[in-house]
Structure 1
Amino acid sequence: MHILVVEDEHKTADYLSKGLSESGYRVEVGRDGYEAWYLIEECEFDLIILDVMLPGLDGWQLLKRIRRRSQVPVLFLTARDAVEYRVKGLELGADDYLIKPFSFVELLARVRTLRRRGPVREAEYFRVADLEMDVLRRRVTRQGERIGLTNKEFALLELFLDREGEVLSRTYIASRVWQMNFDSDTNVVEVAVRRLRAKVDDAYTPKLIHTERGMGYVLEARA
């Protein structure tokens, strides 16, 4: 998912860029309205996170231009908390409106919600090597043998399969599966991955879940 953050306050822009990147998203930053519009014309984005008070084009003007061009989801993230501003943003075509200061966990939840509203359908079936997952029937097999998983193990495996071949950080996994900020003193991700491996990997060849030291985990069939 490719996200454009339009934010002129450098500390907030850097915080958003770092947090969203660590959560697995590809992020570009526009520091003012005109720079953001240039990026929008040059790139295709899946979501735009937009401040109201910007140099050059303000958020209202930029949103009007965006809506003449596309229906990409737009989330206003601004300190303008009066009801009339929220109403104005939604009437101009924004999909959501979040007030600063904000919780990053809530921001991620809203990003996920807007992504689900998009035209992309969630996958219903995955297969990698001899590992198969039927999402709708909540059925996982390997070499034709049924594997019983807990709800969190199923969600973790579905995430790995959906992002096959991509290295997923512990921060991203924690935010997607447990909807929480990652605490470096918590080993919940490592424990969950170890238990999942015991069920889907230990008794089978080839191994599919791999550790990338200092980076995270990846699911893929390797020669």
Structure 2
Amino acid sequence: MRLLIVEDEKRLALSLAKGLTAEGYAVDVVHDGLEGLHRAGEGAYDLVVLDIMLPGMNGYRVCAALRAAGNDVPILMLTAKDGEYDEAEGLDTGADDYLTKPFSYVVLVARVKALLRRRGGSAGGSPVHTLGPLKVDTAARRVLRGEAEVPLTAKEFAVLEHLVLRAGEVVPKADILEHVWDFAYEGDPNIVEVYVSTLRRKLGAELIRTVRGAGYRLEVPR
């Protein structure tokens, strides 16, 4: 899952990015409303954390512009203000949820997970995916083989989750890089192959098939 944080308080933005990255998300950060609108409009994000008080363009206008353009990415609004009017205005422009500063990081993570879960459910999905003997719970971020949990790192789970959500489809390596690593990643693109190899070793070689010249496909047992 790839998230965008649009927040001009740099210390807060970087702290949130660090925490959410540790949770297994790919996180991009910008500090300006216009740049946030551009990134959200161009990037394939699963959720946007959007501050209201921003230079360039405030969060209300960013949110309204995204919705007017038909972009339905979940938006969690942040603000230092407090009052019903602010919440109503934020939700009226198309935000999905609202959090007032100062807030607990644990609460923010819970809101993020709830919005992502809600989006999956509205598309007819389920947080628990059964793949033969494996159960992948994208809400709890756990993989079970029978009753035993298979330990995965945050990044391993992120790669698996992206394949699970598109099970049966061929997913290009570039698409995995875009969703699992942030836009600042400049390392070896073969890192995807390393993680796929690790997942095969932990979960079974037959689970993820390489489609030569195209990408990877997560097999759905029949």
Q: Same fold by TM (over 0.5)?
A: yes
For 1:9, the equivalent position in structure 2 comes to 9
Change (3 A) 1:120 1:2: farther
TM-score of the aligned structures, taking structure 2 as reference length: 0.61
For 1:121, the equivalent position in structure 2 comes to 125
For 2:171, the equivalent position in structure 1 comes to none
Alignment partner of 1:167 is 2:156: yes
Alignment partner of 1:106 is 2:107: yes
Amino acid at match of 1:54: L
Q: Which of structure 1's runs of 4+ aligned residues deviate more than 4 A?
A: none
Distance 1:36 1:49 in 2: 10
Count of aligned positions: 156
Distance 2:95 2:72 in 1: 10
Structure 2: unaligned runs, 5 residues or longer: 138-142, 159-197, 207-222
**Aligned with 1:124: secondary structure?**
strand
Q: Once the 2 structures are TM-superposed, how far is the Cα of residue 121 of structure 1 from its aligned partner?
A: 1.3
Amino acid at match of 2:131: F
For 2:42, the equivalent position in structure 1 comes to 42
Distance 1:26 1:54 in 2: 22
Q: Once the 2 structures are TM-superposed, how far is the Cα of residue 92 of structure 1 from its aligned partner?
A: 1.2
Q: Once the 2 structures are TM-superposed, how far is the Cα of residue 48 of structure 1 from its aligned partner?
A: 0.6
Q: Once the 2 structures are TM-superposed, how far is the Cα of residue 124 of structure 1 from its aligned partner?
A: 3.4
Q: Once the 2 structures are TM-superposed, how far is the Cα of residue 42 of structure 1 from its aligned partner?
A: 2.1
Identical amino acids, percent of aligned pairs = 37
Structure 1: unaligned runs, 5 residues or longer: 170-209, 211-217
Can you list the C-alpha shifts for 1:104-125, whole angstroms capped at 9, x where unaligned?
A: 1111111111011112612431
Give the alignment of 1:13-24 within 5 angstroms. 13-24=13-24
Q: Once the 2 structures are TM-superposed, how far is the Cα of residue 62 of structure 1 from its aligned partner?
A: 0.5
**Aligned Cα root-mean-square deviation (Å):** 3.2
Q: Once the 2 structures are TM-superposed, how far is the Cα of residue 67 of structure 1 from its aligned partner?
A: 0.6
TM-score of the aligned structures, taking structure 1 as reference length: 0.61
Distance 2:144 2:39 in 1: 44
Distance 1:15 1:133 in 2: 32
